[in-house]
Amino acid sequence: MTSILALAASEFRIALRNRWVAIAIVMMTLFAVVLTVAGTAATGTLGVDRLTVTVASLISLGVYLLPLLALLLSFDAVAGECERGTLALMLTYPVGRAEILAGKFIAHLGILALAATIGFGTAAAIALIADPEASVGLPALFRLFWTAPVLGAAFLGIGYALSAVARRPGAAAGLAIAVWLVVVVLYDIALLAAIVTDGGGTFTVDFFPWLLAANPADAFRLFNLAASEATALASGVDGAAASMPPAATLVAILAWPLLALAFAHLVFRRVTP
Amino acid sequence: MTDTLELSGTDKSFGTLKAVDDLSLTVAAGERVALLGHNGAGKSTLMKIILGLMPADRGTISVFGARPGSAEARRFVAYLPENVAFHPALTGREQLRLFCRLRRAAPDAAGQLLARVRLDEAADRRIGTYSKGMRQRLGLAQALIGRPRLFVLDEPTSGLDPVSRREFYAILEELAGDGAAILLSSHALTEVEAKTDRIAIMRRGRLVANAPLAALRSRSALPVRLHVVARAGDADRVAASLAGSRINGVGVDILCAPEDKLDRIGAIAALGPLIEDIEVAPPSLEDIYAFFSREERP
């Protein structure tokens, strides 16, 4: 445990010096505040409190931004150490590969949690100040607070695995961007296309909700929307939130980090420095 | 004496290339062994196998009776990689404190270690600003953490200035005196000649020589060079009577087999007044290395 914490502290210090901590916080806060201010201009007619609307916007923001930040933090983890030549030395120390990965994970997860809490917290504070009724939306906000790092954790694990597969930072960065595009952007578009083609058939009814839950980003969205009054505000793919049992999406968002990290460890074990 | 490191019949191939070929080697406590060989002879691969960074295809390897790379072996083994690198954003002190924690040593030992390799003034500067020699010295400092019993050092003196080299070998001598086993590779032959106890030479993955320098010298049977300084004007006479070759106005060079050395010296001494001085130069490690690492030996 001493080793893991020492590695985590060192990794956090490196991220701090490389401005990654600042970049993550600024990006989260900037987007969250802009979305809140822009997104709540027309809520009066919907009859929903301002925080609920804000949370609905933040969920969408989180779906895109958290995986991106997590992949940016993690793609260099193994490949960068390989390329610099620091991995060989580290592996001759009495510290296991799982511990090395755990140290990096704790540091990176901390950065994501910090950025999400500050970013979402600032946006929520604006909503709470502007609307006295906004406290109705607090439970949904808390759910967002704790699920944000969990979503980040899934993509950190994916990022470490990609990093170990690629072994070179350039290749790892390319893979990370590709995975982000496919999982976060193209996956939903493909599902939508399938629904349109299917026209309300067996695919839409029996498979579609489960395919959504199988994607960590979609599971995060569904689980959070289910807690929010804002489901009514959701459109398109998000409309499926109503048809999925929250337990299924909860299992999905919790299972993803575990599976991704286990896979990352498996790949990392095969890396010869 | 128990062997700290013991390899027998070790093989490692990359595709069709045999990087390590049926290699057996032992290093005992308190022994300094220099591993020599051309680039690509398999030295670094052998070191990585000993450290457990790379599995061997075949052979038995024991590091303090444990499997290489096992938690037990890693507790006792220190490594200094070729062109050692660290994270450029950390300072020397931060990096060393981290390594101390990973070795379960007190982090405060970092200051002492930095002073020992004369990095105390640069300790709080980022490693990104260090010169190659400074990084190498930091690499040595991390290897010293927690009193390891086996040191595996891959070209440890590359990039070091002459003063740092001397200090480095002084530290090695101290470590060996303390009972640590040391395996180091180097291209600087004149250094290891005087500073190690045994020379192991690798060629194309095979160990072609493995003995103290004196034993290699006699095994190679390379000629001894006798340099005779004749009195002014007598060089030609001296050269003629000794069947040597005159190299300048007064010097005469004679090459002779090691076993004939004393006879030849006797013959030179018999010339009495014609001789000003005589120097005996045994084959250098460079000659011996060239002999053993030659592609085809007759």
Q: Is A22 on the interface with B (CB under 8 A)?
A: no
H helices present in B5-117, as ranges:
43-51, 71-76, 92-102, 109-116
Question: Average pLDDT of chain A?
Answer: 88
In this prediction, residue A120 carries a pLDDT of: 94
Banded pLDDT at A212 (limits 50, 70, 90): confident
Give tens-digit pLDDT for B219-275: 888 888 888 888 877 777 777 777 777 677 678 888 888 888 888 888 888 888 888
Residues ≥6 apart with Cβ < 8 Å to A105 = A153, A156, A157, A160, A261
- pLDDT tens track for B13-48: 999 999 999 999 999 999 999 999 988 899 999 999
CATH code 3.30.70 for B223-282: yes
Query: What's the CA gap between B218 and B283, in Å, rounded?
Result: 10
b/e for B81-98, b at 16 or more Cβ within 10 A? bbebbbbbbbbbbbbbbb
Yes or no, beta carbons of A85 and B94 under 8 Å apart: no
- A104: alpha, beta or left, given left = phi > 0 and alpha = psi -120 to 50? alpha
Provide the ipTM: 0.88
Whether chain A has a CB inside 8 Å of the CB on B125: the answer is: no
**pLDDT value of residue A43:** 52
Q: What is the mean pLDDT of chain B?
A: 89
Residue type, B33: V
B211: helix, strand or coil: strand
DSSP-H helix ranges across chain A:
2-17, 20-39, 50-74, 79-84, 86-91, 97-130, 138-166, 169-180, 187-198, 202, 208-214, 216-227, 246-269
Closest among A102, A103, A100 to A90, alpha carbons compared: A100
For residue A237, the model assigns a pLDDT of 53
Per-residue pLDDT, A239: 59
Whether the per-residue pLDDT at A26 is higher than 90: the answer is: yes
Give SS3 for B5. Answer: strand
pLDDT at B205: 92
* Distance from the A178 Cα atom to the nearest Cα atom in chain B, whole angstroms: 27
pLDDT of the residue at B296: 56
Domain hosting A216: range is 3-269
Give me the mean pLDDT over the B193-221 stretch.
90
Q: What is the pLDDT of residues A220-236, one digit of tens each?
A: 988 888 877 655 555 55
Hey, what are B221's tokens?
């049977």
Model pLDDT, residue A240: 58
Residues of A in contact with B84 (CB under 8 A): 85, 89
- pLDDT on residue B30: 93
Which helix (H) or strand (E) segment holds residue A133: the answer is none
Distance of CA B64 to the CA centre of its chain: 22
**The pLDDT value given to residue B142:** 96
* Least confident span in A50-59, A239-248, B108-117, B168-177: A239-248
Say if the Cβ atoms of A93 and B102 lie within 8 Å.
yes
Three-state DSSP state, B144: coil
- pLDDT higher than 60, residue B1: no
Interface contact flag, A86 B83, Cβ < 8 Å: no
Q: Residue A67 in contact with residue A151, Cβ under 8 Å?
A: yes
Give percent of chain A with pLDDT exceeding 70: 91
Q: Is the pLDDT of residue A261 over 80?
A: yes
Report yes or no: A77 and A193 within 8 Å, Cβ to Cβ. Answer: no
The reply to whether A94 touches chain B by the CB within 8 Å rule is yes
Nearest CB to B85 within list A9, A17, A84: A84
Bridge partner list, B61: B7
Contact present, B23 and B35 (Cβ < 8 Å): no
How close A225 gets to chain B, by Cα (Å)? 41
Position A238 scores a pLDDT of 56
Distances (CA, A) of B76 to A119, B7, B147, B149, B213: 47, 17, 8, 5, 28
Q: In angstroms, rounded to a whole number, what is the distance separating the alpha carbons of residues A202 and B21?
A: 62
State the pTM of this model: 0.89
Residue A125 has which token pair?
Answer: 């504070």
Lowest mean pLDDT among A2-16, B115-129, B245-259, B278-292: B245-259
Q: A270 touching B, CB under 8 A?
A: no
The Cα–Cα gap between B179 and B193 comes to: 20
Average pLDDT over residues B111-130: 94
Start-to-end C-alpha separation, chain B: 36
Most confident of A120-129, B229-238, B287-296: A120-129
User: How many CA atoms lie less than 13 Å away from B156 in the CB half-sphere?
Assistant: 32
Q: Which residues contact A193 (CB under 8 A, 6 or more apart)?
A: none
- For the record, the structure tokens of B82 come out as 């070729």
Chain B nearest-CA distance from A24, in A, is 18
User: Of A134, A148, A170, A141, which is closest to residue A24 (Cα–Cα)?
Assistant: A148
Residue A153: pLDDT over 60: yes
Q: Is A19 on the interface with B (CB under 8 A)?
A: no
How would you classify the pairing of strands B224-230 and B251-256? antiparallel
**CATH architecture of the domain with range B3-218:** 3-Layer(aba) Sandwich (3.40)
- pLDDT band, very low/low/confident/very high, at B84 (cuts 50, 70, 90): very high
Q: Are A4 and A102 in contact (CB under 8 A)?
A: yes
Both tokens of B167, joined, read 């200090």
- Nearest CA of chain B to the CA of A116: how many Å? 25
**Biggest distance spanned by C-alpha atoms of chain A:** 64
How far A86 CA sits from the closest chain B CA (Å)?
6
CB distance A152 to A109 below 8 Å: yes
What pLDDT, on the 0 to 100 scale, is given for residue B228? 84
Measured in whole angstroms, the distance separating CA A247 from the mean position of its chain's CA atoms is: 19
Q: What is the pLDDT of residue B298?
A: 46
The pLDDT value recorded for residue A231 is: 55
Buried b (16+ CB within 10 A) or exposed e, B105-124: beeebbeebbeebebeebbe
Q: Listing from the earlier edge strand, what are the strands of the sheet with B58-63?
A: B17-28, B3-14, B58-63
User: Environment class of residue A177 by beta-carbon count within 10 Å: exposed (0-12), middle (13-18) or buried (19+)?
Assistant: middle
> Touching check for A2 and chain B: CB below 8 Å?
yes
> A153: which 2 tokens?
């954790």
Q: Domain total for chain A?
A: 1
Q: What are the domain boundaries of chain B?
A: 3-218, 223-282
B101 touches chain A (CB under 8 A): yes
Q: What percentage of residues in chain B have a pLDDT greater than 90?
A: 62
Pairing of strands B32-36, B181-185: parallel
Best mutation target, A82, A86, A92, to test chain B (most B CBs within 10 A)? A92
Question: Would you call A86 and B85 a contact, using CB atoms and an 8 Å cutoff?
Answer: yes
In this prediction, residue A204 carries a pLDDT of 76
